[in-house]
């Protein structure tokens, strides 16, 4: 009888152990869906490659993670920031301006920070108005399309340029003539020559597509405002992710590094991949030309981000100003020669 009870007890313990092991295995195999936002244009090429080649999923496996990605398209930084704050997004991506804004506004709570840069690329302000040679020549009859009035990267750069041209205190002189439109919509409306839109402050490939028409000319190059190359797009996330799930961020950075290498090793192939994925009207050869253009740098290093943050802090667009670019970015990228 005693032996029977011992055998029953052993079988019960064995069954319990098997059940626990099965539960542990199930928990380990649980899929984590990572929600990533990107916007329009070839400047998001590194993220497009990551998406098309499932690079985050691959890097996640190396770290013992079962990751799945949910890619969401936005037309500007402000709605992405809202999604991030509401918990409906893990990684946001866009211009430096929106990232600086949410960093300053959440530094004492959610602690949103930049995760990495995606590129250093110029932005062009183009126009179909032959009378506009510089930003001084715009009048109240003109309308300038950009991704988001007052807060997008283009809007901030336009303010910086206005301050340089019209003087301190005049940074918002052109704001009243700006209109919020996605890059594709801005291009379509200006190039229709029937819209109120006579100017478009945009990015690649849209700015190059516009300049292919002889009726369009460039009024402003952002590199002139910054005195050289600057970061255009960055990725950012909240402390809930980079502190709470560091392996997910580690996998993301590794995947992005793989993506950058692919661009450098095979610009033609990656340009063709982007054309197909984005259903772009550009030919693969035209996209490759943009990818290879020396003014477009595919790099994870933040460049001149403090120029943007310094301006935004000085004109009180943000409640706090960083003392270094490292204040705004996670520790994992502090080894890079950022600025």
Residue 12 has pLDDT above 60, yes or no: no
What would the two tokens of residue 136 be? Answer: 């001084």
pLDDT tens profile 184-241: 999 999 999 999 999 999 999 999 999 999 999 999 999 999 999 999 999 999 999 9
Cα(121)–Cα(164) distance, integer angstroms? 21
Residue 29 binned pLDDT confidence (cut-offs 50, 70, 90)? low
Of 273, 249, 22, 284, whose CA–CA distance to 114 is shortest? 249
Q: Is residue 23 part of a domain?
A: no
Residue 77 binned pLDDT confidence (cut-offs 50, 70, 90)? confident
Residue 6 has pLDDT above 60, yes or no: no
DSSP letter for 316, please.
T
Give the lowest-confidence range in 38-47, 69-78, 162-171, 215-224: 69-78
Residue 20 binned pLDDT confidence (cut-offs 50, 70, 90)? very low
> Does residue 329 sit in the same domain as residue 255?
yes
DSSP letter for 16, please.
H
Instruction: Please give the pLDDT value at position 9.
Output: 46
Instruction: Please give the pLDDT value at position 111.
Output: 98
Residue 256 binned pLDDT confidence (cut-offs 50, 70, 90)? very high
Residues contacting 171, CB < 8 A, separation 6+: 159, 160, 162, 163, 315
Contact 272, 299 (CB under 8 A): no
- Residue the block writes with tokens 């502090």: 334
- Residue the block writes with tokens 């300038």: 144
pTM recorded for the entire structure: 0.89
| Number of domains into which the chain is organized | 2
SS3 138: coil
> Does residue 255 sit in the same domain as residue 166?
no
> Does residue 144 sit in the same domain as residue 68?
no
Domain termination site, one of 206, 226, 246: 226
Q: What residues pair up with 124 in beta bridges, in sequence order?
A: 202, 221
| Domain housing 97 | 31-121+231-333
SS3 219: strand
> Does residue 91 sit in the same domain as residue 146?
no
Domain termination site, one of 181, 207, 226: 226
Residue 163 has pLDDT above 90, yes or no: yes
> Does residue 198 sit in the same domain as residue 267?
no
pLDDT tens profile 106-151: 999 999 999 999 999 999 999 999 999 999 999 999 999 999 999 8
Cα(285)–Cα(54) distance, integer angstroms? 25
Number of other residues whose CB lies within 10 A of the CB of residue 240: 14
Residue 76 binned pLDDT confidence (cut-offs 50, 70, 90)? confident
Cα(97)–Cα(252) distance, integer angstroms? 22
Q: What is the CA radius of gyration of the chain?
A: 24
CATH of the domain at 236: 3.40.190.10
Residue 4 has pLDDT above 80, yes or no: no
Cα(78)–Cα(81) distance, integer angstroms? 5
Backbone φ, ψ for residue 198 (5° rounding): -110, -10
Contact 74, 234 (CB under 8 A): no
Of 90, 19, 28, whose CA–CA distance to 65 is shortest? 28
Backbone φ, ψ for residue 53 (5° rounding): -100, 5
Instruction: Please give the pLDDT value at position 21.
Output: 44
Of 71, 69, 92, whose CA–CA distance to 81 is shortest? 92
């Amino acid at each position: 009888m005693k032996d029977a009870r011992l055998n029953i007890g052993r079988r019960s313990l064995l069954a319990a152990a098997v059940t626990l092991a099965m539960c542990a295995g199930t928990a380990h195999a649980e899929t984590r869906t990572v929600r990533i936002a990107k916007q329009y244009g070839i400047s998001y090429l590194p993220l497009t490659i990551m998406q098309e080649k499932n690079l985050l999923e691959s890097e996640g496996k190396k770290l013992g993670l079962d990751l799945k990605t949910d890619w969401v398209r936005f037309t500007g930084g402000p709605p992405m920031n809202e999604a991030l704050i509401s918990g409906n997004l893990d990684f946001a991506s866009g211009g430096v301006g929106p990232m600086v804004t949410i960093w300053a506004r959440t530094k004492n709570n959610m602690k949103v920070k930049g995760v990495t840069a995606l590129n250093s690329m110029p932005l062009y302000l183009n126009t179909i108005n032959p009378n506009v040679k510089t930003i001084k020549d715009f009048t109240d009859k003109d309308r300038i399309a950009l991704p988001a009035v007052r807060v997008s990267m283009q809007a901030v750069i336009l303010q910086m340029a206005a301050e340089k041209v019209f003087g301190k205190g005049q940074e918002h002189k052109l704001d009243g003539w700006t209109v919020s439109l996605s890059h594709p919509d801005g291009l379509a409306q200006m190039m229709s020559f029937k819209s109120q839109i006579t100017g478009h402050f945009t990015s690649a490939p849209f700015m190059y597509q516009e300049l292919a028409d002889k009726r369009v000319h460039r009024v402003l190059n952002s590199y002139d405002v910054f005195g050289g190359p600057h970061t255009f797009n960055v990725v950012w996330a909240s402390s809930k992710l980079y502190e709470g799930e560091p392996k997910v961020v580690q996998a993301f950075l590794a995947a992005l590094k793989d993506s950058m290498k692919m661009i450098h090793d095979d610009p033609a192939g990656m340009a063709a991949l982007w054309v197909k994925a984005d259903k772009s009207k550009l030919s693969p050869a035209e996209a490759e030309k943009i990818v290879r253009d020396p003014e477009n740098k595919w790099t994870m290093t933040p460049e001149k981000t403090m120029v943007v943050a310094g301006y935004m802090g000085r004109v009180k667009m943000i409640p706090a100003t960083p003392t270094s670019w490292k204040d705004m970015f996670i520790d994992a990228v502090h080894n890079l020669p950022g600025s």
